[in-house]
Amino acid sequence: MCHIFPLLLFTLLIGLVLSCGYIPPKPGEVQHAFIESGHSIHKREADHNLRIKYFYDEESLKRITIDKFRIINNTVLPEAINYWQQALFVKPFMAPIKLNRKCLNDRTLYSEFIHNGYQHFHPYCVDGCDEHTLCGEVVIPENHLEECRVCEMNGENCQTVPTNYSEVGIRDADFVFYISTMQTDRCNKGSTVAYAVHCQQETTFNRPIAGHANICPDSISTKPQDLDTLISTFKHEILHALGFSVSLYAFYRDFDGNTINSLNKHMGPYFISNGTRISQKILRRVTRDNWKVHKGEVAHKVYLITTPNVIKEVRDHFNCSKLEGAELENQGEDGTYLTHWEKRLFENEAMTGTHTQNPIFSRITLALMEDTGWYRANYSLAQPLEWGKNLGCDFAMKSCKEWIDLKRSQKQSIHPFCDKVKKDPLQTECTDNRDSVALCNLREYDEMLDKEFQNFDYIPNVRNETLGYYGGSVALADYCPYIQEFTWKLNDEIVRGSKCSFSENNPLPEKNFALEQYGPNSKCLNHNSEMWEERNCFEIRQWQHWGSGCYNYRCSDGLVHIIINNHTFTCFEENAEINIHLYYSNWLHKGTILCPKCSEFCENCESFNAETLNQMKSKFKMEKHNLKCSSILSSPSLPLTVIVIIFMFYINLFIWI
């Protein structure tokens, strides 16, 4: 007797992709303000920690819930801002920051003067000053603004209109942020969490000194497992305002504070938002002629940052001494294109154009900040970037198609890329660092991809004619497929993620077929190629999804011990099979877990000789726990109901056993 009882549990949401909502400012949206430095030295002395002050847009703040405000005010903002305050040094302002006023009708005259050997200018308004000066989408408070300067059209009768405030400007700050929490149109587009943009630059070195950051209230999650993503997103956005923007490259300085690009002295006409007219010492376009794609080659255009520290860091990172610079994103919309690192090459670097997993700020990003000429960086605050590390010029300068073919021909792993199509049966894997259950994001598209993005001549179990429809789910990574964390969804609601360290990701006991345990001391382990099974005295349930899971472990006696359901299983060698046979939540669970290499999990690993190994094996004897009715279970004559548990993702793929 066979009986099917499909339990629909979850759909799978691969590639939770949060995009950056950055849009570079347009000409006229950036003002230039003279700030008295108080220094008489020509050279830059970036020796003080950057001081960022922020002010809330009270209006929009009133409209968000107290929970969200607390998360923003008490955690996200202080952590993100503090990170950059620690990571970057500047030549500090001695005087308060006074921001420039916008002229009515944008009719402006400039009065030039020399201060400390540098040429500056004060803008004067012909038709008077605008009632409000905006920074991004926020009105700058009156007492942060310079007095209003006006002149007649012919430059005569110039005067300053005194303000009402006894004290004007922002003291003890090198950068001022206006923070709003408005649900704007840009928030509603895609999955934008926040965006930030600079709005004023000072006139000595053109460093940005003020910016606006908006946090999209509907995208704020108050779940603890989302906090890291929120902080990292905010750090990312802040950096666009501080210097990582195509609209600022033209203003970058060398180490002596001299301009690299030639600039119009009032910054107006040379305002650049798409990369043209920027010196090749900053940004360079290179064509990679023999870019291998499915059944041929194309010419692939790339843009690279070519400043000295960035070149050094990126060559070190990939171990490729002929690399011309760090590749920028060549896809995406206005604010993604040229204002982020290339996703294919820098996958989880936080300054790539989409957030996919485990974001880090690398030395390369800090090097870019140094190469603005405005900052020095504290490299001890950089986090290690594993993606692409030491993979050489083949990785850094060739298509992922060529890399994959090369590795296959050498019979090596095609890491960090992958070629397992997401399909039935859903088989998960582990990320390289084993901190998450993961999937290869290779999928089939409804339409054929552009020739440039067809990266395969061969995919296991895929017909040759359809290869052009297959690509990674992250477009910005040139559709190169790679292993990625994912999220489980139920009825359109995100239920849990796949990162091992969050106990929030634990499945409910009745759904925890593979006896996983998520938490601070968990890592990802592979299963063998058999399905997990649960039995009681009447039924067998089989799970149509397996492959890997998160498990608790501990290190002792030179070995790694896996802890499952309070039972300890010791690993004596890599890939040894641990057969699990445990009673939990009214079911006997059966499955197999593969041992990791001890050194992947533990620091003090030892290799034992045969004799001590045997002693150790008897010391850490594996325990067996069977059901009371186990004798019945093993009897083949008993009619058992077999239930196949599948996931909504595979709704059309019921299997009768």
Ligand X SMILES: *[C@@H]1O[C@H](CO)[C@@H](O)[C@H](O)[C@H]1NC(C)=O
Residue ranges of the annotated binding site for Zn(2+) are 236, 240, 340
d(CA 294, CA 98): 57
Using CB under 6 A as the criterion, what x/- string covers residues 436-475 for binding ligand X?
---------------------xx-----x-----------
Q: Is 20 in the site for Zn ion (CB under 5 A)?
A: yes
Nearer to ligand X, 85 or 592 (CB): 85
CB of 123 to ligand X, least distance (A): 18
Output b/e per residue, 280-297; b: 16+ Cβ within 10 A.
eebbbeeebeebbbbeee
Strand partners, 470: 444
Among the listed residues 14, 6, 70, the one whose alpha carbon sits nearest the alpha carbon of residue 494: 14
Stretch that binds ligand X, among 37-45, 375-383, 573-581, 593-601 (CB under 6 A): 375-383
Nearer to ligand X, 457 or 539 (CB): 457
Q: Is 73 in the site for ligand X (CB under 6 A)?
A: yes
Tokens 């279970």 found at: 633
One of 166, 264, 287, 380 touching ligand X (CB under 6 A): 380
Nearer to Zn ion, 20 or 644 (CB): 20
> Which one of ligand X, Zn ion, none is in contact with 381 (Cβ closer than 5 to 8 A by kind)?
ligand X
> Which long-range CB contacts under 8 A does 155-163 form with residues at least 24 apart?
155/109, 158/111, 158/124, 161/129
Stretch that binds ligand X, among 178-186, 201-209, 376-384, 545-553 (CB under 6 A): 376-384
Q: Is 361 in the site for Zn ion (CB under 5 A)?
A: no
Write down how long the chain is.
657
Q: Is 5 in the site for ligand X (CB under 6 A)?
A: no
Q: Is 74 in the site for ligand X (CB under 6 A)?
A: yes
> Which one of Zn ion, ligand X, none is in contact with 20 (Cβ closer than 5 to 8 A by kind)?
Zn ion
Output b/e per residue, 200-221; b: 16+ Cβ within 10 A.
bbbbbbbbbbbbbbbbbbebbe
Q: Is 381 in the site for ligand X (CB under 6 A)?
A: yes
| Residue stretches of the annotated binding site | 236, 240, 340
Nearer to ligand X, 380 or 631 (CB): 380
The catalytically annotated residue of 29, 146, 202, 237 is 237
Q: What is the four-CA torsion angle of 529, 535, 538, 544, rounded to 10 degrees?
A: -40
Annotated catalytic residue 237:
yes
Q: What is the SS3 assignment for 367?
A: helix
Nearby residues of 231 by Cβ (< 8 Å), 6 or more positions away: 75, 76, 79, 80
CB of 368 to ligand X, least distance (A): 18
d(CA 324, CA 312): 10
Stretch that binds ligand X, among 71-79, 423-431, 540-548, 614-622 (CB under 6 A): 71-79
- The DSSP-derived string for 245-261 is STTTGGG-B-TTS-BSS
Stretch that binds Zn ion, among 16-24, 45-53, 72-80, 548-556 (CB under 5 A): 16-24
CB of 379 to ligand X, least distance (A): 8
Supply the Cα-derived Rg of the chain in whole angstroms: 29
Q: What is the SS3 assignment for 618?
A: helix
Question: What is the CB neighbour count within 10 angstroms for residue 193?
Answer: 26
Nearer to ligand X, 565 or 568 (CB): 565
> Looking only at residues 22 through 51 of this chain, which bind Zn ion when binding is defined by CB under 5 A?
22
Q: Which helix (H) or strand (E) holds 236?
A: helix 227-242
**Sites of contact with ligand X (CB under 6 A):** 73-74, 78, 164, 274, 276, 319, 378, 380-381, 390, 392, 457-458, 464, 565-566
State the catalytic residues: 237
Interface positions with Zn ion (CB under 5 A): 20, 22
